[in-house]
């Protein structure tokens, strides 16, 4: 079963930053690949949505841009630092995305069954990634879940083309063995985009 968690209602990154200290409560990590038009994000990384930073880092490899917003607090990271995706406007992230055609955002949700729930406005890329994950033996849902990521301001849709892909990974996938098969499956699609 997939469930939502309540969150603090920040209006934007500046609102979140008013009450939290970078370097103590959270950190931003960016790895730029100027030759790449692809960005991999974990906007709720570190201890906010556990496992998403590691998956995003593995997906980016040495080929793709990487952006991580990571919770560092000893506890309560989700409640304190989760900025919903259509309000995620951290300036360094937006600057990175302004130079990228394809954006893939990695998120985590609750759920014991290993599932990848895909959303975003780049339907063709979403379908290709979904097919690759399914071919690796992992259950994929492209519809019928609450993480559709259709808002134009959703961080996955803030690249140059105005559309991207959001991948919500259940706890049973992102913190378990099946994720090892998922990473090369997604990377194969992204490497093919480089043409």
Residue 110 to residues 6, 11, 49, 140, 150, Cα–Cα distance (Å) = 12, 24, 10, 15, 20
Q: What is the 3-state secondary structure (H, E, C) of 66-115?
A: EEEEEECCCCCHHHHHCCCHHHCCCHHHHHHHCCCCEEEEEEEECCCCCE
Task: Determine the pLDDT at residue 111.
Answer: 95
Nearest to 83 by CA among 152, 16, 164, 21: 16
> pTM higher than 0.75, yes or no?
yes
Choose between 178 and 80: higher pLDDT.
80
Chain-centroid distance, C-alpha 84:
12
Task: Determine the pLDDT at residue 178.
Answer: 80
pLDDT band at 6 (very low <50, low <70, confident <90, very high): very low
pLDDT band at 76 (very low <50, low <70, confident <90, very high): very high
Which bin fits 51, alpha (ψ -120 to 50), beta or left (φ > 0)? left
How much is the mean pLDDT over the chain? 94
For the beta carbon of residue 195, count every other beta carbon within 10 angstroms.
Answer: 4
| Mean pLDDT value of segment 154-171 | 97
Query: Which CATH class, in words, describes the domain spanning 18-193?
Result: alpha beta
Report percent pLDDT > 90 for the chain.
Answer: 91
pLDDT band at 195 (very low <50, low <70, confident <90, very high): low
Count of positions (residues) in the chain: 195
CB 187 within 8 A of CB 132: no
CB 116 within 8 A of CB 126: no
Look at residue 135 and tell me whether its pLDDT is greater than 90: yes
What are 79-121's pLDDT values in tens digits? 999 999 999 999 999 999 999 999 999 999 999 999 999 999 9
Look at residue 179 and tell me whether its pLDDT is greater than 50: yes
What are 26-72's pLDDT values in tens digits? 999 999 999 999 999 999 999 999 999 999 999 999 999 999 999 99
């Amino acid at each position: 079963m997939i469930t939502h968690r309540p969150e603090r209602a920040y209006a934007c990154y500046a609102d979140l930053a008013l009450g939290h200290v970078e370097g103590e409560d959270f950190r931003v990590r960016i790895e730029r690949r100027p030759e790449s038009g692809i960005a991999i994000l974990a906007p709720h990384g570190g201890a906010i949505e556990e496992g998403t930073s590691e998956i995003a880092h593995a997906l980016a490899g040495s080929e793709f841009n990487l952006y991580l917003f990571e919770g560092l607090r000893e506890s309560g990271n989700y409640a304190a630092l989760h900025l919903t995706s259509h309000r995620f406007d951290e300036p360094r992230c937006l600057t990175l995305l302004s130079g990228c055609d394809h954006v893939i955002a990695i998120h985590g949700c609750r759920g014991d069954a290993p599932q990848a729930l895909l959303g975003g406005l780049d339907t063709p890329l979403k379908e290709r990634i979904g097919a690759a994950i399914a071919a690796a033996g992992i259950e994929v849902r492209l519809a019928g879940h609450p993480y559709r990521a259709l808002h134009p301001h959703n961080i996955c849709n803030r690249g140059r083309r105005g559309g991207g892909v959001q991948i919500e990974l259940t706890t049973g996938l992102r913190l378990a063995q099946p994720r090892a098969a998922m990473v090369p499956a997604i990377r194969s699609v992204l490497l093919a985009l480089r043409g």
